[in-house]
Amino acid sequence: MITTLTQSQILGFSNVTVRIKNEARDSRPILEAIGLQLERGETLGIVGGSGSGKSTLLRLAAGVLTPGLVLDQGEVTTVGKNLLVATPAERSNIYGSVVALVAQSIGESLTPHLTVLSHFRDTVSGEAVDERVLESLAEVGLGGEKYLHRYPHQLSGGERQRVLLALALVRSPQLLLLDEPTSALDVSIGSEVLTTIDRLQRSRGFALVCVSHDLGVVSQISKRIAVMNQGRIVELGQTSQVLRSPSHEYTKALVSSIPKLDQRIRESSSQSNETVLVCRGLQIVRGQTTRAIDSLDLEIKQGEVVGIIGESGSGKSSLLSAICGLVSVTGGSLHDGDGYDLSTALQMRPREVLSSIQMVFQNPDDSLNPMRTVAQSLSRYTHATNSEISSALLSVGLGEQFLTRRPREMSGGEKQRAAIARALLAEPRLLLLDEVTSALDVTVQAAVMKTLADLQRKLNIAMIIVSHDIALVASFVDRILVLRNGQLVEQGSVDDVIKSPRDSYTQNLINISARRAAI
């Protein structure tokens, strides 16, 4: 069935309700009675918590209904067509040239064994020539032939995001759909990507829908905003009006939960003299010559919380990976508080050392087995009982119903909270947190960070938290380290680094963060 929109409309949702297949009729729908229209050339931001239905809504706009879900009622029309019933030939003609979707997961969107040039040639079915590809890459800020023959693993997160943007726009679509375009990027690179998107949208005039849990992102590139909660649009209006004077209680909670540079989630506490981690002259080389960490000295005490900030490629995640044994140490020394040599390979470490250092990864799909239920994943190495698992899940905001769910039945934020719960079950002395809130909306983020603060105070756990969100780091930690190109360029107390940064690189990061928070 083909439905014609008014000439000015490019996207329409008419009383759309989506449910989980075979669930009871009285269960809460994934989407409920969604009514929404988008004009040609208009920009719309969609915000809401994990599991609110915003990504499902975006995929529906692209004609994709997630397996396990059913369209209960209503109709979605995209550029005049109901893509859910379009033929393969119609979809082939529409995707890329009329509608383009940039998915949330950068890693899953690019094929590892294909070069950048090969991705373009696949996308445009042999129509592209090198000059056209170069023009598309230059338009998103990737100038030069050096990018044509690189593979995804040879690109930074920001470069991969720009490649995806160039791929989406190479055939000049009328509608661009973005799902969390900056969730994997640091504030400086993320800001550059958003500026690029805004510039291209203004010059080309395509309509834009951007889904994000980050209110700062949608406020930068969207003139209109829809706020979603539990499958419904609870507030819709001009972005500036909605964010400055929200009318719905949920929107008010979102705005009030945004981390601020001058607000604390956790107050600093007295620290023990007992050391849990020491590194001296630490060096980590990735590949043949890339110095991910260069001559780093660091010591962490029991109960201390240290934050590490820096752009993509600065060495933050490499440091955490070395501490937990996933990356080899090239030079210097790395020991725990008992003097155990942490340069020892992961598989050679004794069980007590493995338990004492736990890491929560940025992408929970990397740590949750898709074939196992949450209860099975959380009990596999901790040997925790269902009661203990339920308590751990409750501490991060997940009810007992999640015990039997598998990752595919959970949102990104729900999976991340399950991963945090599993790490806490091991009762570690040192907890490593690598961008653990990047998939969470600000209300859930605030709840998770409060939980971590309560647990840290109760158990006196030492923590290292890596995050692109400088305001979040500043609100939670005792001490901040700033890394750039593997080197420590600045460190000190939160007040020293945030209020009186000495290094120009630190100053730039903080200025960008302050602008993003001032929505």
Q: Are strands 357-360 and 232-238 parallel, antiparallel or unpaired?
A: unpaired
| pLDDT of res. 312 | 74
The b/e string for 378-402 (b: 16+ C-beta within 10 A; e otherwise) is: bbeebebeeeebbebbebbbbeeeb
Please tell me the distance from the alpha carbon of residue 442 to that of residue 455, in angstroms, as a whole number. 20
Given a cut of 60, whether residue 127 has pLDDT beyond it is: no
Please give the average per-residue pLDDT across 58-84, as a whole number: 90
**Percent helix, strand and coil across the chain, each to the nearest 5:** 40, 25, 35
Look at the alpha carbons of 343, 306, 265, 498 in this order and tell me if their dihedral is positive or negative: negative
Provide the pLDDT confidence category of residue 2 given band limits of 50, 70 and 90.
very low
Domains of the chain in sequence order: 9-256 (3.40.50.300), 275-517 (3.40.50.300)
pLDDT tens for 240-285 read 999 999 999 999 988 888 888 888 888 877 677 899 999 999 999 9
Mean pLDDT estimate for the chain: 87
Please give the average per-residue pLDDT across 138-154, as a whole number: 85
Q: Put residue 295 in one of left, alpha, beta given phi > 0 → left and psi -120 to 50 → alpha.
A: left
One-letter amino acid identity for 26? Answer: D
- Decide: residue 121, CB within 10 A, 0-12 exposed, 13-18 middle, 19+ buried: middle
Local structure of 145: helix, strand or coil: helix
| pLDDT of res. 424 | 86
Residue of 188, 215, 209, 260 whose CA lies nearest to 13 = 209
| pLDDT of res. 214 | 81
CB under 8 Å to 463, separation ≥6 — which residues? 304, 305, 306, 430, 431, 432, 433, 452, 456, 477
Please tell me the distance from the alpha carbon of residue 197 to that of residue 438, in angstroms, as a whole number. 20
Q: CA torsion, points 248, 251, 252, 256, in degrees to nearest 10?
A: 180
Residue of 170, 1, 21, 174 whose CA lies nearest to 81 = 1
Q: Are strands 357-360 and 331-336 parallel, antiparallel or unpaired?
A: unpaired
pLDDT tens for 481-518 read 999 989 999 999 999 999 899 999 899 888 877 776 66
How large a percentage of the chain has pLDDT more than 90? 42
**β-sheet bridge partners, residue 299:** 278
Q: How many Cβ atoms are within 10 Å of 463's Cβ, its own excluded?
A: 23
* Radius of gyration of the chain measured on its C-alpha atoms: 23
Given a cut of 60, whether residue 195 has pLDDT beyond it is: yes
